[in-house]
Amino acid sequence: MEQYLGLIFGCTKKQEEKQCPFRYLRKIPVIDAIKIWDELSIEEKSEMIIDHKKCLSYHSNPEQNCSLELKTLNKN
């Protein structure tokens, strides 16, 4: 889990998303962000990391994501 600590300092993309679970931690003093990160449960950290990975996956292939969104819309 600690290999993801760097995400509290910045996004690996050029611009972070508004719904990023790390966004709040990036806006507070570093010492406070680290303290909060250390106090999170493994489950909470895992959920944040999963959301981060989904975001990276989504934004790494916009053409594929667009076609997936269209398929989803057509099913409804």
Confidence category of residue 18, pLDDT binned at 50, 70, 90: confident
Q: Say if residues 42 and 49 touch (Cβ distance below 8 Å).
A: no
User: pTM for this one?
Assistant: 0.69
Output the pLDDT for position 14.
75
Residue 76 identity: N
